Amino acid sequence: MLRICLVALSLAAAPLAAQTPEPRVPESQAEISLSFAPLVKEATPAVVNIYARRVVQSRSPFAGDPLFGNLFRDFGGRPRVQNSLGSGVILSEDGIVVSNYHVVGQATDIRVVLNNGAEYEASVLIGDEEADLAILKLEDAGEMPFLPLRDSDTVEVGELVLAIGNPFGVGQTVSSGIVSGLARSGTATGNARGYFIQTDAPINPGNSGGALIDVKGRLIGVNTSILTRSGGSNGIGFAIPSALVAQFVDQARAGNDDFERPWAGMTGQPVNADISESLGLGLPNGVLIADLHPQSPFAEAGLEVGDVVLDVDGQPVNTPPEMLFRMSVRGLGHVARIRYLHDGAPQEAKVEMIAAPETPPREAVTLDEDAVLPGLALARINPAVGAELNLPLPDDGVVVTDPGPYGTRIGLRPGDVLRAINGRAVEKTGDVGRLLKRAAPRVRIDALRGGGRVSLRFRT
């Protein structure tokens, strides 16, 4: 009885302030295990809902049909409005927002809604479909709440994380989990390719573009996709690392409309056990250089075909997407430190991060209305053109950049490398119009497409 009384007296004597502590971010593991509420309260104002609209041209049901395609080419091709829903993260107090490209890319109307109900119009400053990232600017924004970026290279497997977004449009939602994997490449769905942080924090449709934060409220990644068979979360989600987000913000503030990646000028492949054994290496790691362009900065730095790139700026690379990610994070105009193996011996080199050169000149040509294929746009292949159209090495010859309406009908596609017209070699962009007229009315175009050969025949 005495013990009970003493406890009661002790509680009664406790000061009022100690009974109602001020909310704060949890700092210890013990505090984190009690509640994420203070952290969520601090972070969620910077995570926004995004509503985007774009006008798309619906496809005719007869498109591509050899019999009815031309007869009904205008049937069903009416514009329609397509809506998308996703999330975004405010990164600065002046209203810079990051989201996914598949949420806001090519949108004509973007509306951003904060968790307090405030709405803003937004415009895309820079976007990239391959990285699936877009940087927006809120119009007439005052002082905005924002999340600080943490260097994603410091993230470790097993760290506690929160995913914040707007899944299924139900409203802002928070889910918790851990970082379950790093250096995940080639595993995300859609057009995104590269390097990802993997998490088991539940991510669902509508979470795209939302925040993946650590226990201090810092952004470590932008949620982009899930691995699923049913369409729901199975506990395997992917986030684009904050290091790449930082590069996008820097280029957007510099006034770039498109994201510029450093050009490697090489093709490579992961070193597996068989390759490692054949080269007399130890554990299978690194990227084997399979081909090098003469203008490649790696060739300029002394690397050769058969060398194995081990790391970029001290960060290991085991796949070509990881290597491209590391180069993109380093950024154009900088120098990366490369560690590699040459004849089995470790070497180091400094490689300049450059844009794909425009040498030789692209000599772009668009055929006029009097041509056999009016509107057909062509370019001489150089490193810049090859990078834009994702052409394999070696890159030479004449490539289709836009088939135009008539070229599309006969089956030409962007990226087709023209080799011959009715058996006559295509060497320059200026050759194409002349050779087409000489070949009419029965024309055969021989081209390379994705490494394979195609032959297109038509009558004028």
* Domain edge (last residue) among 293, 328, 352: 352
**Would you state the pLDDT for residue 70?**
54
- 235 versus 458: which is more confidently predicted? 458
Angle at 310 between CA 335 and CA 151, to 5 degrees: 60
Q: Is the peptide bond before 383 cis (omega within 30 degrees of 0)?
A: no
Stretch 32-61: mean pLDDT: 80
Stretch 185-206: mean pLDDT: 68
Rg over alpha carbons for the chain, rounded to the nearest Å, is 27
**Quick one: 375 and 309 in the same domain?**
no
* Domain edge (last residue) among 112, 138, 164: 138
Percent of the residues in the chain that have a pLDDT greater than 70, as a whole number: 81
Stretch 161-179: mean pLDDT: 86
Please say if 175 is a catalytic residue: no
Q: The CATH number of the domain where 413 resides is what?
A: 2.30.42.10
Ranges 188-192, 238-242, 370-374: which has the least confidence: 188-192
Confidence of residue 49 (pLDDT cuts 50, 70, 90): very high
Please, are residues 337 and 312 in contact by the beta-carbon 8 Å criterion?
yes
Please say if 102 is a catalytic residue: yes
Averaged pLDDT of the chain:
85
- Does residue 27 belong to any structural domain of this protein? no
Q: In the chain, how many domains are there?
A: 4
Please say if 293 is a catalytic residue: no
**Would you state the pLDDT for residue 456?**
96
**Quick one: 162 and 244 in the same domain?**
yes
Q: Which residues of 117-139 are buried (b: 16+ CB within 10 A; e: fewer)?
A: eeebebebbbbbbebbbbbbbbe
**Quick one: 205 and 226 in the same domain?**
yes
Angle at 92 between CA 88 and CA 98, to 5 degrees: 25
**Quick one: 395 and 450 in the same domain?**
yes
**Would you state the pLDDT for residue 217?**
95
pLDDT tens, 127-136? 999 899 999 9
- Does residue 16 belong to any structural domain of this protein? no
d(CA 29, CA 228): 31
Residue 406 has pLDDT above 90, yes or no: yes
d(CA 52, CA 123): 10
- Does residue 143 belong to any structural domain of this protein? no
Domain around 114: 45-138
Q: Which of 84, 87, 99, 102 is catalytic?
A: 102
- Does residue 9 belong to any structural domain of this protein? no
- Does residue 448 belong to any structural domain of this protein? yes
d(CA 391, CA 399): 9
- Does residue 421 belong to any structural domain of this protein? yes
Confidence of residue 348 (pLDDT cuts 50, 70, 90): very high
Please, are residues 317 and 323 in contact by the beta-carbon 8 Å criterion?
yes
pTM greater than the 0.95 cutoff:
no
- Does residue 284 belong to any structural domain of this protein? yes
pLDDT tens, 140-158? 888 999 999 999 999 999 9
Stretch 19-43: mean pLDDT: 71
Confidence of residue 411 (pLDDT cuts 50, 70, 90): very high
Q: Which of 87, 128, 132, 200 is catalytic?
A: 132
Q: Which of 84, 152, 185, 208 is catalytic?
A: 208
Q: The CATH number of the domain where 67 resides is what?
A: 2.40.10.10
In the chain the first and final C-alpha atoms are separated, in Å, by: 106
pLDDT tens, 114-128? 988 899 999 999 999
Ranges 76-80, 329-333, 397-401: which has the least confidence: 76-80
- Does residue 114 belong to any structural domain of this protein? yes
* Domain edge (last residue) among 90, 114, 138: 138
